[in-house]
Amino acid sequence: MPKAKKPKILVMNGPNLNMLGTREPHLYGSDTLEAINSQIRALAVELGLGVEFFQSNSQGALVDKIQQAHGAFAGIVINPAAYTHTSVAIRDALAFFGGPVVEVHLSNIHRREDFRSISYVSGIAAGVVAGLGKHGYFAALRFLAATLSQNKA
Ligand code: CA2
């Protein structure tokens, strides 16, 4: 029997998250983005998922990548960082994607400044994880693995 193709997940991170591990560990933890991504990659292998990573400080580059994800990825995990609170463009691109989207925040955006409680992305997301640090990405991946395998049956 031919091997079933692994569902591919796109893990996206927005502006300044390339700086993880260098400052503000009390908010965002002390792991670098590379270290978190390699833990996500190991979990993806365990869950039978393919995974690709994309980080950009530019809104346009994030929108371009989301557009390209249509039909190429089964699901998206995204920490839009500061664009969470400002970007209709990222929300619209994610809505067009069509597959399940999980919004992740390292910090609990609801116990910080008021403006961080507003998310333009949450309204089109299957779910939102905030405040669990890097474990939020792992939870999002586990959720997508469960959801996508259910849809296949
Ligand atoms: O908690 C999160 O994951 C955020 O998405 C992080 C964003 C923030 O604007 C959101 O409100 C919540 C900021 C990411 C900044 O990352 C840095 C990492 C290291 C050093 C400086 C910034």
For 25-48, the DSSP string reads HHHH-S--HHHHHHHHHHHHHHHT
Residues annotated as catalytic (active site), given as ranges: 28, 105
Q: Is the pLDDT of residue 152 over 70?
A: no
Bin 44: left if φ > 0, else alpha if -120 < ψ < 50, else beta. Answer: alpha
Q: Is 119 in the pocket of ligand 1 (CB under 6 A)?
A: no
| Averaged confidence pLDDT in the chain | 96
Classify 8-152 by CATH class: alpha beta
C-alpha distance from residue 134 to each of 20, 56, 138, 140 (Å): 11, 18, 7, 10
The whole-number average pLDDT for the span 45-68 is 98
Amino acid at 147: T
- Residue whose Cα lies nearest atom 5 of ligand 1: it is 81
The whole-number average pLDDT for the span 3-30 is 94
Taking only the tens place, the pLDDT of each residue in 70-89 is 999 999 999 999 999 999 99
The whole-number average pLDDT for the span 15-38 is 96
Best mutation site among 11, 84, 87 for ligand 1 pocket (most ligand atoms within 8 Å of CB): 84
- Residue whose Cα lies nearest atom 10 of ligand 1: it is 81
- Residue whose Cα lies nearest atom 6 of ligand 1: it is 81
Q: Is the pLDDT of residue 153 over 60?
A: no
Distance CA 45, CA 35 (A): 16
**Structure pTM?**
0.96
Q: Is the pLDDT of residue 91 over 90?
A: yes
Q: Where are the domains of the chain?
A: 8-152
pLDDT band at 4 (very low <50, low <70, confident <90, very high): confident
State whether the Cα torsion 142-34-134-86 is positive or negative. negative
Q: Which helix (H) or strand (E) holds 55?
A: strand 50-55
Q: Is 79 in the pocket of ligand 1 (CB under 6 A)?
A: yes
Q: What pLDDT does residue 2 have?
A: 72
